[in-house]
Copies of this chain bind each other. A is one copy, B any other.
Amino acid sequence: MPTQSDLSFVRPLFLGPAAENDELFESLVVEFLRDHTFWRRNFHPEDGQRIGADAKNDPDFLDFQARTRRELYQLSAELKRAVPFFHPRYVGHMSSDLLLPGLVAKILTTLYNPNNVSEEAAPQTLEKELQVGEQLARMFGYETDDDASPCAWGHLTSGGTIANYEALWNFRSVKFYPLALQAGAKEISFNPHAGPKAKPFHDYSKWELLNLSMQETIALRRELAGLIHDEADPAVLRAFRNAVKAERIESLGTAGFFLKHHVTPPVVLVSASAHYSWEKGMKVLGFGTQNLVKVEVDDHMRMDLEDLDRKLDAAFSRKVPVLAVVGMLGTTEFGTIDPIHGIVAARDRAREAGRDFGIHVDGAWGGYLTTVFRRPDGSFMDRSDFSDEFTYFPSETVHAAFRAIADTDSITVDPHKLGYIPYAAGAFIARDREVVDFIAQQAAYVFDLGDREHHIPRREQLHRLGQYILEGSKPGAAAAAVHVTHNVLPLHSDGLGRLVRLTLRSCERFWDSAQIMAERLAGRVTLIVPFEPDSNLICLALNPAGNRDLARMNAFSREIFARMKVDPTQPVQAKTFIGSYTSLEKGNLPSGQADRILHDLGIDPVTFVAAPEALDRDAAHIFILRHTLMNPWLLDGPGERSYIDLYWEYLEDVIDEVLERDTP
């Protein structure tokens, strides 16, 4: 049960499941609408009014107003069948109620409609976006002091998918830069002692250059720029700059580049349970899905470190560059956490052996879980600090994974998921802001001209944001929403972390009660939690007692799910709970794990096949119910029962109903 202190913490945060904070919300919105109105009236008040009071009685005016009302009423009416994400009876996808401060900030800022592509179109909110990036960076343990090296930066994206693409784009621009640098240096016969081995620059082999770390490449670029500035006349300098630019993978294209350098295209390693945006990203960036190496998952659905080692070895020993290993910090499907510390250790071992790769953390879901580990003073909590509040969380692996984030290169995190911010708000955070030199674009009309780059401090350069990101025009309103939220609920255990902790406790409660339910349902269905929840997402697998066929189990579970599925043809009030589902697929599940899960369910493993033919018996996937427990009220509820209790009651009813229907 939540303590009184939990409840009094949570109560002012949201509009509330019965819109309990409606007065506060309305008064804020109205106030800021009026504030905006009077701002308009204060800009050149001498101009008077363009729309006279009498004009408002004009038939055209009234007609348009009536049509506007009609369309908006229609929309508002249709939205009565929207998904009630805000309510604790919604335990489906990664959506919940919205934090009130962020929601109001979003509405308020939309009235001013700033465009964070450049400061000229967003004099306030662009700076807020950079601050948000730094707040997130610090939460993860990156340095953000202006004189730190590396010094992190971050910005918002339209979502985690774009942030993931950006990670690949950033890695590529740095990884292949040294080859272009060497090609350019050779063209102008510039061969100083340089680089980490302080040897003649032409003497580095391609493989050596492909295995410099990001920081080594950044330093190398600086070092060579300094050396050539000292030595060469402006014409030589220009020739060098043009040659390097022409030799870059960004100029030649991936095909041209690898052909020219006789280098194998790189691979990216990711756990088999990763989000499908990684496949999409490999296609979009032209790397190809065959170069996305899927690392097996262990029996916790986390990246298997032994398999990672095997796959890294396989690549390196064939002289295949490894662009990056991506660790999932909360898979979208299962909420599981990859052992980031194990990936970091593998990277450190690889470095010892002259091999290098970047590490990206896909924390679209789980990034904000870091708040629970970060003390207000910035230090990282010990595992033992959690024992008063939690029974299971955090497991040793999970704790170590979060601590290791500080040693990775970049992170995706979605404020529109566990940040409780309206869509669209993702974020990309890079540990070293010097990477922007490798990805900068230029656009005459957006960015100021002149060769003044060198004189502008780095932090200020970032105000020309459109130069350094995948997107162009972007809403300042999203930045304002996240900024206000981070200010009222700072990114540590006493701020947003308190809210996140409640979701983790909901999950523990759910897990505990699943054991009890399993016993209670024995004889009717076999109910299992197929793998330990790492965070606040938990799955259930259900098999009617006595059934041995996977296809039948799937059909049964699907029938259960049909009752808790969003159905736009019905009033939302017809739903008692709304859930979601996912699948364990034959192709992604190691056979040992599949056997364990199927055994626990009483399913014959021979019915789990890649290409089912007997469709009434076999299947290529295991259908499971999936619960995202991010609503803050799940441990509370009407009467003496929590919403989790109510869910189990409901699930039992549904199970009985489906069992009965299926029994002739």
Contacts and interface: CB of A to CB of B under 8 A. Distances in A.
B253 A472 contact: no
Nearest to A110: B422
Contact of A256 (B109, B279, B290, B474): B290
In the complex, the 9 A-B pairs of residues with the closest C-beta atoms, listed nearest first: A286-B286, A253-B288, A123-B568, A158-B158, A20-B51, A161-B472, A423-B475, A254-B286, A19-B37
B24 A65 contact: yes
Contact of A470 (B42, B104, B161): B161
Contacts of A626: 445
Given A40-B17, A159-B472, A472-B159, A108 B58 contact: no
A392 to B, nearest CB: 24
B423 A474 contact: yes
Interface in A60-119: 60-61, 64-65, 67-69, 71-72, 75-76, 78-87, 89, 92-93, 95, 98, 100-101, 103-115, 119
A55 interface: yes
B158 A60 contact: no
A129 interface: no
A444 interface: yes
Q: Kindly name the residue among A61, A98, A582 whose own CB sees the greatest number of chain B CB atoms within 10 A.
A: A61
Contact of A20 (B50, B246, B426): B50
A32 B80 CA distance: 11
A11 B480 contact: no
Given A255-B258, A288-B252, A445-B626, A473 B159 contact: yes
Nearest to A120: B566
A265 interface: yes
A368 interface: no
Contact of A638 (B11, B43, B48, B111): B48
Contacts of A476: 423
B572 A43 contact: yes
A599 interface: no
Interface in A1-16: 5, 7-9, 11-13, 15-16
A104 B637 CA distance: 34
Interface string A148-168: 000000000011111001000
A121 interface: yes
* Total copies of this chain within the assembly: 2
A510 interface: no
A389 to B, nearest CB: 18
26 contacts: A8-B58, A11-B51, A16-B40, A16-B50, A17-B40, A18-B40, A22-B33, A25-B37, A30-B30, A43-B84, A44-B87, A67-B488, A68-B104, A68-B488, A75-B484, A79-B124, A95-B121, A106-B110, A159-B471, A161-B473, A169-B283, A249-B286, A259-B259, A280-B441, A333-B444, A424-B474
A480 B49 contact: no
A500 B472 CA distance: 24
A175 interface: no
Contacts of A50: 11, 16-18, 20, 633, 636
Contact of A169 (B284, B422, B636): B284
Contacts of A121: 83, 93, 95, 566
Nearest to A9: B60
Contacts of A246: 290
A337 to B, nearest CB: 17
Given A46-B638, A255-B286, A424-B475, 17 more contacts: A11-B60, A18-B41, A19-B40, A22-B34, A26-B37, A40-B84, A43-B572, A82-B124, A95-B121, A110-B422, A158-B162, A159-B473, A160-B473, A253-B265, A254-B286, A256-B290, A444-B583
A623 interface: yes
